[in-house]
Amino acid sequence: MSATTANLEHEAQQEALLDKTAFGFWVYLMTDLVLFATLFATFAVMRLNTAGGEPLSELFNLPFVLVETLLLLTSSFTSGLALLAAKKQHRQLAVLGFGVTFLLGAAFLGMELHEFRQLASEGNSWRASGALSSFFTLVGTHGAHITGGLIWMAVMMWRVMRNGINSHTIRRLTILSLFWHFLDIVWIFIFTMVYLLGAAV
């Protein structure tokens, strides 16, 4: 077998593996959609069950949450720019773009944790009522996904800096970017259903 034939077979195997990975990722996203749909439905049912405590509308700081939302929306934009830079083989711009995305995502996560800590310190923890329990579960699950996305992003930035950009790296960065956009869309629904509608009750 010639070296050229061996290389072609190796590339074909890698392509098949990446196709399987992409398919598996889409299956994962579908299961995540079911998970979040269940959590949204649970919150919709439980949001008025405050166990005699303050309604959720009295607990949320909408300007604070709006800043969180703007951070995540901006991070989705910078993620898209970073992916475009990677596709054009601009390694430094790609790393810079994902680095900014990482910082914005970390700031979002820090604000979310601050909100949780403040609610708990005021006696409004996940154990206080059904409404708060469903709130912490829904928003906390999204926060856990953000944490996973940040770890994934840090690993990919390290790989790009170490090994450069090739077709396989672009595939992986594309999947990462899709995952981050997915989290952004989920947060838009959280902001609308949990904070805006919750504040209206």
What pLDDT score was predicted for residue 18?
59
Among 156, 157, 194, 155, smallest CA distance to 69 is for 194
DSSP H helices in 47-88: 62-87
**Domain map of the chain by residue range?**
61-200
What pLDDT score was predicted for residue 179?
95
What pLDDT score was predicted for residue 159?
93
- Which class would CATH give 61-200? mainly alpha
- Looking at residue 1, what DSSP letter applies? -
61-72 tens-digit pLDDT: 899 999 999 999
Measured distance between the N- and C-terminal CA atoms of the chain, rounded to whole angstroms: 72
What pLDDT score was predicted for residue 49?
85
Written as six digits, the tokens of 80 are: 């898209």
Find out whether 146 and 108 touch, Cβ atoms under 8 Å: yes
What pLDDT score was predicted for residue 23?
74
d(CA 43, CA 135): 6
Distances (CA, A) of 4 to 13, 44, 168: 14, 59, 19
Question: C-alpha angle 170/176/178, rounded to 5°?
Answer: 105
d(CA 164, CA 182): 26
Spans of the chain, pLDDT less than 70: 1-21, 198-201
What pLDDT score was predicted for residue 80?
95
What pLDDT score was predicted for residue 166?
87
What pLDDT score was predicted for residue 99?
97
Among 191, 176, 163, smallest CA distance to 60 is for 191
- Cβ contacts of 152 within 8 Å, gap of 6 or more: 176, 179
